[in-house]
Amino acid sequence: MPVMNFAQALRDALRYELAHDDAVVVFGEDVGKRGGVFNITEGLQEQFGEERVFDTPLDENGILGMAVGMAVMGLRPVAEIQFVDYLWPGYDPLYSEAAKIRFRSGNQFHVPMVVRSPYGGLVGGGLYHSQSPEALFAHVAGLKVVIPSTPSDAKGLLIASIRDDDPVVFLEHKRMYYALKEEVPEGEHVVPLGKARTVREGEDVTVVTYGMMVHETLKAAEKLEKEGISLHILDLRTLIPFDGDAILHSLERTGRLVIVAEAPRTVSFASEIAAFVAEAAVDLLDGPVVRVTGWDMPFPFKLEKHYMPNVTRIARGVKRALSLLP
């Protein structure tokens, strides 16, 4: 299998679907001739032409409104929003139309569209290029939310998302685009939505996470292993739908739960996982559920290293779950 970085894996997924399904179209700000601000779509317009891969005006409402119309009429649009922080002018087409058309039409119409967008901090982007607003999409009934953490999953989950008959918000942590490399299957590679991945087997504490925080949690696991503490790490991969069975199965073994996410703490997706476990299996817990998250404040520019969950904070959270710290 070829070795690809995260960006190359995404491009490979788009290229494969453009080549094998004439209904797939890719568009957004600068995605055509330039290949996007992060070069994810580089070369695709040259290969597939301006009718399949094209630039749009700087108009997120127009981009996502157009995607909804295309999807209802039988296309499979993949719309790129340059940064997820820019999406909010286009939130209404997602919230009011894309998420609801299947239901308001009595299942007569579907909206098979994908919204790709980079998210996340520690890139020096400040308040308007670094946020993690996944909970705002997860809250919208009718949307699916996908956040891959590896190049192989990036390709497999993107292909699955394009083929899904419901709208998908596909978030890509910008720190991973060129930092991660691994072997990625050639050709068709599909990772089903709604299935978590066991990243590391462990016995003492279950850690549920996703996106870039998977890699920070792995670093914490290596540190804690030297202290005799074993982490069982689950990468959700898909927030909506999420794999509750995988979480409960792991808790049967460990009895302890830590959730790691870089979004602000209050009403985060970490809160939803904590509530799910409290309702479904509080009897499995031998200690408090611990959330290690960002802080309840706008993303700070000069203090982002203190805002983001890191190895020290994750390790401290694990020890709290084990009642080793207050």
Matching residue, tokens 């060129």: 178
Active-site annotation, residues: 129
Q: What is the pTM of this model?
A: 0.97
How many C-beta atoms lie closer than 10 Å to residue 63's C-beta? 25
- Domain spans in the chain, listed from the N-terminal domain onward: 3-183, 197-321
Per-residue pLDDT of the chain (326 residues; tens, 9 = 90+): 999 999 999 999 999 999 999 999 999 999 999 999 999 999 999 999 999 999 999 999 999 999 999 999 999 999 999 999 999 999 999 999 999 999 999 999 999 999 999 999 977 788 888 999 999 999 999 999 999 999 999 999 999 999 999 999 999 999 999 999 999 999 999 999 999 999 999 999 999 999 999 999 999 999 999 999 999 999 999 999 999 999 999 999 999 999 999 999 999 999 999 999 999 999 999 999 999 999 999 888 778 888 999 999 999 999 999 988 87
β-pair partners for 182: 4
Amino acid letter for position 115: V
How many C-beta atoms lie closer than 10 Å to residue 282's C-beta? 9
Instruction: Mention the CATH class of domain 3-183.
Output: alpha beta
Fold match flag (3-183 vs 197-321): yes
Topology, domain 197-321: Rossmann fold (3.40.50)
